[in-house]
């Protein structure tokens, strides 16, 4: 009987304390100062972050963002014809060249009207191991992106991206908090003493 009680109490503590748990941790990038407009005057933004938790495993990292993209204007050298130049923004976790990346492009099909977007973008490109984020701390950069670097293309006008929302989302296993270990450290001697009593 007494062994059953000890096992029952330990089971309750395990369920309550949760040695580790799968969780979705999110961080509003606007709360860190991320600008709402990316253009010639504000092409990029970077900051450090602290999620306030630690992980034992990270499965996926996303940027959940929405807004609208206004394309630029380009021409091919000697053609005399101008066409829309798609623009957008990219998100980078970590520092170059060891970072992870994702991005969104648009505006070409709706030019000169802005094209809305609402997208959950997974950071899959790059070589940064997610273990670098296990302490919940890292560096994030948001920067404008577009087609460029082709000698035959002349950029007549650059576009812009307006963000309505931008949230970093990490899907992983959250490590136990120190108080959980303290709970077990406090409970185990009591359970040991209890198990020695005659029932």
Distance CA 39, CA 158 (A): 8
As a whole number of angstroms, the distance between CA 127 and CA 94 comes to: 10
| Backbone region of residue 137 per phi and psi (left: phi > 0; alpha: psi in -120 to 50; beta: other values) | beta
**Each residue's pLDDT tens digit, 7-31:** 444 444 444 444 456 799 999 999 9
**102-to-26, 30, 72, 111, 158 alpha-carbon distances in Å:** 17, 18, 21, 23, 21
Give the model's confidence band at 177: pLDDT under 50 very low, under 70 low, under 90 confident, else very high: low
| pLDDT, tens only, 68-109 | 999 999 998 878 899 999 999 999 999 888 999 999 999 999
Question: Which residues on adjacent β-strands are paired with residue 95?
Answer: 98
Tokens 């709360």 sit on residue: 31
Position 182 scores a pLDDT of 42
Mean pLDDT (the chain) is 84
What percent of the chain lies above the pLDDT cut of 90?
A: 67
**Predicted local confidence at residue 76, as pLDDT:** 87
**Cβ(37)–Cβ(142) below 8 Å:** no
pTM for this predicted structure: 0.77
Residues 153 and 78: their CA atoms lie apart, in Å, by 10
The pLDDT assigned to 3 comes to: 55
Report residue 34 as tokens. Answer: 């991320």
């Amino acid at each position: 009987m007494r062994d059953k009680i000890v096992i029952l109490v330990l089971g309750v503590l395990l369920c309550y304390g949760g040695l580790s748990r799968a969780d979705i941790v999110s961080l509003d990038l606007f709360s860190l100062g991320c600008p709402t407009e990316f253009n010639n005057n504000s092409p990029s933004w970077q900051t450090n972050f602290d999620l306030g938790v630690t992980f034992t495993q990270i499965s996926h990292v996303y940027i959940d963002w929405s807004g609208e993209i206004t394309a630029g204007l380009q021409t091919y050298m000697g053609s005399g014809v101008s066409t829309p130049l798609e623009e957008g923004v990219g998100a980078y976790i970590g520092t170059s060249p060891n970072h992870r990346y994702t991005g969104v492009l648009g505006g070409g099909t709706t030019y000169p009207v802005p094209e809305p977007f609402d997208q959950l973008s997974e950071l899959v490109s790059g070589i940064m191991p997610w273990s670098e984020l296990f302490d919940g701390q890292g560096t994030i950069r948001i920067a404008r992106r577009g087609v460029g670097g082709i000698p035959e293309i002349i950029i007549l006008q650059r576009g812009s991206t307006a963000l309505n929302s931008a949230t970093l989302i990490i899907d992983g296993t959250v490590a136990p908090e120190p108080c959980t270990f303290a709970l077990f450290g406090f409970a185990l001697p009591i359970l040991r003493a209890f198990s020695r009593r005659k029932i």
